[in-house]
Amino acid sequence: MSERNVGPASPESGPFWEATRERRLVLQWCTACEEPIQYPRSFCPRCQASGSSLEWRDASGLGVVYAIVVEHKPEAMGEESPYAVALVDLEEGVRLMTNIVGPDALSATISTGVRVTWEPLEDGRNLPLFEVSAAKQV
């Protein structure tokens, strides 16, 4: 189970968190602009469209590292696998603050290809994190 800090779901981000129960990464889109909206909100920041002009779409879960900082934990914290805090650019064109986890986490660098992975939360939701994918993108 995750002990990471997960903020409470706001009304706008509710559908995002509901989708994580099925381990689906979804993004809010403006159908007028045909652009994803990050972070979720009640209107499009570009054209002000709201209501039915906004919808949720599945994301590929693939992206590349835009920036990364390795976190060194005190040994007293135990043997949690190494992780890094990163900004990841998703294929869809949005940038997420996330953690890179997994055995290759510390080898990740700028432009490393990553894909979404899931960490279970106590309430049935899943926290989206990222792991290094096989192909390194340049």
Neighbour count for residue 113 (Cβ, 10 Å): 17
Residue 53 CB, nearest approach to Zn ion (Å): 7
**Which residue spans within the chain are E strands per DSSP?**
26-30, 35-37, 54-58, 62-71, 83-90, 95-101, 113-120, 126-132
Q: How far apart are CA 107 and CA 119, in angstroms?
A: 20
CB burial of 61-86 (b: ≥16 within 10 Å; e: otherwise) equals bbbbbeebeeeeeeeeeeeeebbbeb
Q: For the CA atoms of the chain, what is the radius of gyration?
A: 16
| Shortest distance in whole angstroms from residue 48 CB to Zn ion | 7
Q: Identify which of 110, 77, 108 has the alpha carbon closest to the alpha carbon of residue 130.
A: 108
Which residue, 36 or 113, is less far from Zn ion as judged by CB?
36
| Nearest CB to Zn ion, comparing residues 30 and 62 | 30
Q: Residue 59 Cβ, how far from Zn ion at the closest point, in Å? A: 18
Give residues in contact with Zn ion (CB under 5 A).
Answer: 30, 32-33, 44, 46-47, 49
CB of 7 to Zn ion, least distance (A): 25
Residue with Cβ nearer Zn ion (49 or 121): 49
Nearer to Zn ion, 55 or 91 (CB): 55
* Shortest Å, Cβ 97 to Zn ion: 23
Nearer to Zn ion, 39 or 66 (CB): 39
